[in-house]
Structure 1
Amino acid sequence: MEQTTAHHGWYLLAFRSELTDDITPLAVGGHRLIAVKEGDRVRVLDATCPHRGAHLGFGGRREGDCVVCPFHGKRIALGDPDKHWSVAEHTVLAWGDALFVRLSDDPDGDRGFEQAVKGWADTYPLVEAVGLQVDVHPAYVVENAFDPDHFKAVHGVPGTRGMAARTGDSGELVIEGEFLMQTSPWQDARRLEEIRWQAIRTRTVRWDYRPRFLARAFSPSVVVTEFGPPEELHVIVTGSVPAPGGGCTARVAIGVRTDQQAALPALVGGSRKALEEDKVVWENLDPHAVPRYDARDEPVLAFRAFCADFATRTAPGGAR
């Protein structure tokens, strides 16, 4: 996969904890952005001053619906193309601690994400789990959901079943199957130890816990996974944002029901551990190796074809 910096789909741009000021500089690859806080609302706009190219996120100050440029003091309107000096505004979707953005109004770029979030947001409010800088092409982060064999090899999942990819009703990419496990990984440590010793004594392993795995990629940079049986279902959102100098920021957020809050610390800790395990593999890949795919790679190939369907976007000033 060639390095790309921006496409017309969704990004998990930032967590609310990262928006430390009224105006926070952000970026999607070479596309410079600012996040502007207005109470609980967050707006995302281009950051490059149309006068002489200054970055409005470094020294710019808010005056009404404008940002005063730190270079020449011009008042730059926020998302008002009728004004002589203005910067473009982008579509934002807030879900709990997570802030998502689209850099294009291309209707093909949504893939049903906005509607899907409406069904999740109230029941599964997202909590920040982990953000990590990784020296790898950003698509690898989301691709992991479509790589069944890596769950066992990298993360020690005993087994999987099904895990077939298909196109969803809104053009998103879906993979669905089961994990084969002895018990829920969110059980307390004593119970897990009892089950382990029982398997050793009887020399029999029972896959009594078979949580459903349903992942939906809405862009090359955002995948939402529903994991677990109905009584303890939780939602995991994984995203990646290309960094200006290469590599990406990988982020994971977790959503659980109010009656499942006790599981949240283990879920957050597990997400951090898993991302660290993935980082070791990602940062030691040989980008020049010629892959030799087999039948187990069909979901990966489906994801790569899905990514190819997203057009790249030219950033203001010609950067990509």
Structure 2
Amino acid sequence: MSPVNPSAVIPHSGWYLLAFRSELSADPTPLAIGDRALVALREDDRVRVFDAACPHRGAHLGYGGRREKDCLVCPFHGRRIALGDATRPLSVAEYPVLQWGDAVFARLTGDPAGDRGFAQAVEKYAADFPLVPAVTLPVAVDSAYVVENAFDGDHFKAVHMVPGVRGWTASPGPSGELVVEGEFLMQTSPWQDERHKEEVRWRAIRTNTVRWEYRPRFLARAYSPGVVVTEFGPEGEVHVIVTAAVPTPEGCVARVAVGVRDHQRDTLPVIVAGSRKALAEDQVIWEHLVPGAPERLDGRDEPVVAFREFCADFPAAPPMTGDAR
């Protein structure tokens, strides 16, 4: 896998964290997944996503298109373009959308096989872990690297200075998702106050021993090459992190969203700050990978290999014709 793979701009048929609601205006909003031009429309609490290329002469309907009832009026010639109605002479396809808190997910096919259990996961998590934005960051690297990080247990120690990791095994999930599970070994919770952390550090110095008092479970499920949902923390303190990437010609846009239960709301600023710091640390590595360098993967990389095989199983998205539903 090269740092920026030109073929990555051809979108796959799985889920993407396309945008945060706060990024969408009241007017038609232009978006893109790789080389696929899209337009998003807000309808009260609902978000709808369509192909953006006018079928008449190819104008982008997200730049100057005007909504009129069930149509977008093209800014180039004023033609009325039907929204998701393939029976009309001029129409653009509509794509499946899921909303989870502030996060808007879309996939470029209506084929149920492309879901991989993600709709059920959103239903499971949405009420207890409403997502809030943590990071939106353009990165000059193939989008798959962003999600692959969850399957690379060793990088947590080398890049993010986690004292220890244990486990890190990957296996297929019941709906075709890919699951990785492991455990962090830490002296204390990163959400503890600084006084408690200092007490733990001094105790380790006095006794010349290190006790892993905080062993948060790491359980991540990749539902597509572009979306992984992670449960992190010991029982009773679990929070959810969604890490995602949308390909661009320059690399990708990485997004991270986090969700906590109501009784954990005071930890949310720390988790958001930690997510921003971690992604910035990853960015330095990703953007300085050496193109074309050979890889010599070993047994410790088995979860990474499993993720790459998972990605290879996703077909390219269908072309911009017809209704996707």
Measured against the shorter chain, the TM-score band is over 0.9
Q: Mind listing any 5+ residue stretches in structure 1 that lack a counterpart?
A: none
1:133 counterpart = 2:138:
yes
How much has 1:107 moved relative to structure 2?
Answer: 2.3
Provide the alpha-carbon RMSD of the alignment. 1.1
Residue matched to 1:45: 50
Alignment of 1:1-320 (within 5 A): 1=1, 2=5, 3-5=7-9, 6-243=11-248, 245-316=249-320
d(CA) in 2 for partners of 1:55, 1:315: 16
Indicate if the aligned counterparts of 1:11 and 1:102 stay in contact, CA closer than 8 A.
Answer: yes
How much has 1:316 moved relative to structure 2?
Answer: 3.1
d(CA) in 2 for partners of 1:193, 1:288: 45
How much has 1:313 moved relative to structure 2?
Answer: 2.2
In structure 2, give the amino acid aligned to 1:221: G
What TM-score do the two structures reach when normalised by structure 2? Answer: 0.95
d(CA) in 1 for partners of 2:165, 2:233: 13
How much has 1:158 moved relative to structure 2?
Answer: 0.6
Moved more, 177-186 or 140-149: 177-186
How much has 1:286 moved relative to structure 2?
Answer: 1.2
- Per-residue CA deviations over 1:228-279 (Å, capped at 9, x if unaligned) read 0121110000000001x23000000001000100100000000000000000
Aligned residues between the structures: 316
SS in 2 for 1:208: coil
What TM-score do the two structures reach when normalised by structure 1? Answer: 0.97
Moved more, 176-185 or 87-96: 176-185
d(CA) in 2 for partners of 1:4, 1:312: 10
d(CA) in 2 for partners of 1:82, 1:192: 64
How much has 1:51 moved relative to structure 2?
Answer: 0.3
How much has 1:315 moved relative to structure 2?
Answer: 4.3
d(CA) in 1 for partners of 2:82, 2:318: 22
Q: Mind listing any 5+ residue stretches in structure 2 that lack a counterpart?
A: none
SS in 2 for 1:230: coil
d(CA) in 2 for partners of 1:251, 1:33: 18
d(CA) in 2 for partners of 1:186, 1:207: 15
- Percent sequence identity over matched residues? 67
Indicate if the aligned counterparts of 1:29 and 1:246 stay in contact, CA closer than 8 A.
Answer: no
In structure 2, give the amino acid aligned to 1:309: D
How much has 1:177 moved relative to structure 2?
Answer: 1.3
d(CA) in 2 for partners of 1:313, 1:229: 38
d(CA) in 2 for partners of 1:56, 1:287: 36
- Per-residue CA deviations over 1:77-104 (Å, capped at 9, x if unaligned) read 1101111111000000000010000101
SS in 2 for 1:225: strand
d(CA) in 1 for partners of 2:123, 2:12: 23
d(CA) in 2 for partners of 1:34, 1:197: 56
d(CA) in 1 for partners of 2:319, 2:201: 54
d(CA) in 1 for partners of 2:27, 2:96: 18
How much has 1:314 moved relative to structure 2?
Answer: 4.9
d(CA) in 2 for partners of 1:315, 1:97: 28
